[in-house]
Each structure stands twice: as C-alpha cells, then as structure tokens.
DNA sequence: ACCTGAACACCGTTCAAGT
DNA sequence: ACCTGAACACCGTTCAAGT
C-alpha cells in the first residue's frame, strides 16, 4: 500500500502558489488547495492557522524568489578591494537601486495576481522586510541620510517592489471609435490624448501601453528627484 | 397605511456608501444593504445587475464628491481676461495640478476603504474619466505635449487621484524594542532607519508617519520631474 | 413592474469523532 | 499527532411565485 506523502506547511503553500499562478487569486480557496493535495480542506488547518496565513505564506514565497534573482544581479565583484567597493557603491546607488527594483518587477510580472495581495496585506513579513532592508542598504551606501531614505520609501511606495499600479485595465482599448466620439463631448482632453497617442503609435493606447517603458519613466523621475534631494 | 419609499438605484448606492463608511468594504454585502433599506436582498437585483455594479456605482459617488470639491478650488477668477487666464494657466499648471490632487486626496481620506476598490476595479467609469480629463486638461493648458502627459499619467498612477498607497499598515509601530533588536540581525538597515527616525521625531515611525508630508514629498518629486521633462 | 421566499452553489471555519 | 465528515454561519445569485 502506497504511503501518502505527509502534508506540510510548505506543500500547502506551494500548492496555493501554483493555484494562484494557474487561476488567479480568486481560484485560491481552502477547498481547492486541499483538492490539489488530495486531502480534505480541514486538514490544512493542522499546518496553518487560517487562510490569511496561507496568503501571507504565498507572498513570502514570491519574495524568496525575488531575493534569489536579486542576489544574482547585485553580486559584488570579488576582485575589488573593500575601499574600491565602497567607492563604487556610493557612486552607483541609483543604478543599483534601479536594477534591483526592475528585477523585483520581473518576478512580479510572473505572478500578476500578487501586487493587490501584497498591498492589501497589512502584516509585513520577514521576507518583505529583508527586501526593504536591501533597498535601504543601497541608498545608505550611496550616502543618503536615513531621513531622506525614509521619505524615499514613501515616495517610491509600491514601486520599490516593482508594482505596476495600473488603473483601469486593458479594457479601455475595447472602446470603439464610435464610443470614443461620444466620449469626446464629456472628456475632450482625455479623448484628444488617446486619439493622438494611438495615432503616433498603434501599439500604445491606454489599453496597450508599453508598460515597461512607462514603469521605467516613472521610476527614473523619482530616482532623479531623490538624487537631487540628496545633493542638497 | 404608510406607503414605503420605492427602491431606486440611487437609494441602493447611497446605502452601500454609508455601509462602507461605517463598517469598511467587507461590511458591504447584498444582504446587509438590503437590511439597511428594509427590503429583501433579491430586490436589489431589480435596480442593479450585480454586486460589481453596486461597487462601481459607489466609486462613482466618491468621484462626484471629488468633482464637487475640486470645482470650488480651481474656479477661475471671472475678472481675468481670456488672454490673461490662458497665460496664468500656462504658468501655474504645476500648482493647479498639485491643488487638485490634494483635494482628491482629502476626499479619499474620508473614505479610506475606497482606494483598494478603485485600484482593483477594472472598468473606468464616466466619473473617473471626467476626473482624469480635468487632470489632463491642466497639463495641456500648461503646454505639455500629449505624449508627455500620457507618460505623466502612468508616472503618477494612483497618486493622480490622491492615493496613499501605503504598504504595511500602522501595525509596524506595535513592534516593541525587544522585537526590534532581534530584527536588527536580519534587517540591519531597516532597523537602523527606524531607530533613527523614531529618535528624531517620536511621531514619525514607519507606523505613524506624517502621511500628508510624505504624500506631498512624493508628489512634488514627480511634478518637478515632469516640469523638467517639459522644459526639454 | 416590483418585491419576495426558497433554493443553489459556493465560501471559511468549528467541532467531535475517527486512526 | 494527524486527518476526516458533518455542520455552522455566512456569501452572491437564480428562479418561480406572489402582488
């Protein structure tokens, strides 16, 4: 008789993660997770206190993934002397922070259901704290004061973790030209902007913008502003 | 016999809004709304197709409120000649946009449950579109190209509507000093920042920051960056 | 046309019972 | 210690029936 692999917290969390990737966050229910593990829903409660803990654990898995990829990116060159390393870090904090944030973003793009979950999740987990610590460390190495870093974290907001923070998803593009003409009466500026941006570049309506470009545009404005504030 | 006031879409939406203000978004269920109106839950479906429509309608109510307050703020001085008005608008777009966004924020602070709802809501309603149109109009009057305005809307993101976009709510402040000391091992930079910021200003931990200041700090960085991009 | 009651197909979670 | 089945207290929504 086959003995079944025992249920563990880790198996539950990975099943939940896979479920979220496959069906979105609304597909993640205690009953569905249990189904996937060939177990009853109530068995999950022997390894996790409630659904909140499951979702928190899944968020942690994502930040472990981020930490993995970030580690590859910001690894110091071992041949540098310590002094050189410190010098380099001071000079390159903006580039280093930019790279780290874009790496985090690339991971979140693989789990698009995650940002709303992270935002709504009040409790800051250890894994999130460790990510934040890395961000703060880069700015500190760049010579920014803790006071400025604190403001910077607020200014960056979700962007510090690579959030896309889009409003009004790709459905706007489905507004046909007739509907747009009617709209023009009430929202002339919005209609004019859409008309021109669509005309200039057929792949860049509000519904199908170049998200990567827009994210970097906004990020660079903030990073440049912080650099200027640091120089003051 | 008292004839009951007939149910209307408007009465349903206002009941839902009051419920959200009183108990938060999780208190808004079809059954609870119906209770408040002394009616059965299923009666609501004669005036609104589903819960999604209820939530969308409530978001609209909030943007009507924003439009009301914004109208008071940006009213032009009637004594100005048209030419002067245009000149003024071109010069003051940054201040005008700042004022409009801070007004929107003041409304959202009265409905703190609303931002997550607006973000998660895919469909852009007419009321939201009208607000966006106003924002675009201010920048257009300031001489910004539609292309730059388009990037600006993405860079601002939720901030264009006054979002607070905080991560990890005020619970971080409940971390006692003992817990913080343990944390210092794993997240030394975060711990050091918290320690210094708390020391400098007892009212400004990560848990209890001056939200208004931080919001304006981030907003100004973005507006300044946009101004510089416009001058290029 | 408008409102209702019962029912359906789901939730998260508790509890007593099994092994 | 670990898993289960039944049950509880909720959801949004459908449907047939009332007035």
The predicted structure's pLDDT at residue A84 = 78
Whole-Å CA distances, A34 to A15, B134, B185, B191, B222: 9, 49, 37, 38, 46
Determine contact, residues A73/A100, Cβ cutoff 8 Å: yes
Partner-chain contact B221 A200, CB within 8 Å: no
Measured between CA atoms, the residue of chain B closest to residue A147 is B197
**Quick one: tokens of B197?**
């910021």
Section B171-198 average pLDDT: 72
CA atoms within 13 A on the CB side of A140: 15
Rounded CA-CA distance A17/B127 in Å is: 36
More confident residue, A27 or B164: A27
pLDDT, tens digit, for every residue of A92-130?
999 999 999 999 999 999 999 999 898 877 667 889 999
The predicted structure's pLDDT at residue B13 = 97
pLDDT-derived band at B71, boundaries 50, 70, 90: confident
Partner-chain contact B165 A124, CB within 8 Å: no
Partner-chain contact A193 B155, CB within 8 Å: no
Query: Among A5-19, A63-77, A106-120, which stretch is predicted with the lowest mean pLDDT?
Result: A63-77
Nearest to A217 among B128, B155, B192 (CB): B155
The predicted structure's pLDDT at residue B1 = 40
Whole-Å CA distances, A71 to A54, A215, B69, B225: 26, 22, 48, 31
Nearest to A136 among B136, B150, B193 (CB): B193
Rounded to the nearest 10°, the torsion over CA A21, A25, A31, A35 is -10
Q: From the alpha carbon of B38, which nucleotide's C1' atom is closest?
A: C3
The predicted structure's pLDDT at residue B119 = 84
**Quick one: tokens of B92?**
């003051």
The reported pTM is 0.88
Shortest CA gap A178–chain B (Å)? 16
pLDDT, tens digit, for every residue of B129-172?
999 999 999 999 999 999 999 999 999 999 999 987 665 444 44
Shortest CA gap A32–chain B (Å)? 23
Residues of B (166-225) placing their beta carbon closer than 7 angstroms to any atom of strand C are: none
Q: How far is the CA of A47 from the C1' of C13 (A)?
A: 14
Partner-chain contact A167 B161, CB within 8 Å: yes
Question: Where on strand D do bases come within 7 A of a protein Cβ?
Answer: 2-6, 10-16
pLDDT, tens digit, for every residue of B187-205?
999 988 988 887 666 655 5
Partner-chain contact B224 A225, CB within 8 Å: yes
For residue B124, give the 3-state DSSP assignment. Answer: coil
Average confidence score pLDDT of chain A: 85
Per-residue pLDDT for A178 more than 90?
no
Q: How far is the CA of B41 from the C1' of C11 (A)?
A: 18
DSSP calls for A109-162 = TT-TTHHHHHHH--SPPHHHHHHHHHHHHHHHHTT--HHHHHHHHHHHGGGGGT
The predicted structure's pLDDT at residue A114 = 93
Closest CA to A54 of A6, A95, A13: A13
Q: How far is the CA of A61 from the C1' of C11 (A)?
A: 25
The predicted structure's pLDDT at residue A196 = 85
Q: Which residue is nearest to nucleotide C3 (CA to C1')?
A: B43
């Amino acid at each position: 008789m086959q003995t079944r692999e025992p249920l563990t917290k880790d198996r539950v969390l990975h099943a939940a993660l896979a479920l979220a990737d496959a069906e979105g966050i609304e597909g993640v229910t205690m009953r569905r997770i249990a189904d996937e593990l060939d177990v009853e829903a109530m068995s999950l409660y022997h390894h996790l206190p409630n659904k909140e803990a499951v979702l928190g654990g899944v968020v942690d898995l994502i930040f472990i993934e981020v930490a993995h990829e970030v580690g590859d990116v910001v690894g110091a060159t071992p041949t540098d002397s310590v002094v050189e390393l410190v010098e380099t870090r001071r000079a390159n904090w903006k580039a280093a922070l930019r790279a780290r944030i874009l790496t985090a973003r690339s991971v979140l793009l693989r789990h698009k259901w995650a940002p709303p979950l992270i935002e709504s999740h009040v409790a800051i987990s250890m894994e999130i704290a460790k990510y934040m610590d890395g961000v703060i460390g880069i700015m500190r190495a760049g010579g920014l004061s803790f006071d400025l870093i604190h403001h910077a974290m607020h200014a960056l907001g979700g962007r510090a973790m690579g959030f896309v923070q889009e409003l009004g998803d790709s459905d706007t593009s489905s507004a046909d030209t007739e509907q747009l003409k009617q709209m023009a009466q009430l929202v002339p500026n919005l209609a004019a902007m859409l008309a021109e941006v669509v005309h200039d570049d057929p792949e860049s309506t509000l519904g199908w913008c170049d998200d990567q470009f827009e994210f970097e545009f906004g990020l660079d404005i903030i990073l440049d502003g912080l650099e200027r504030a640091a120089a003051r």
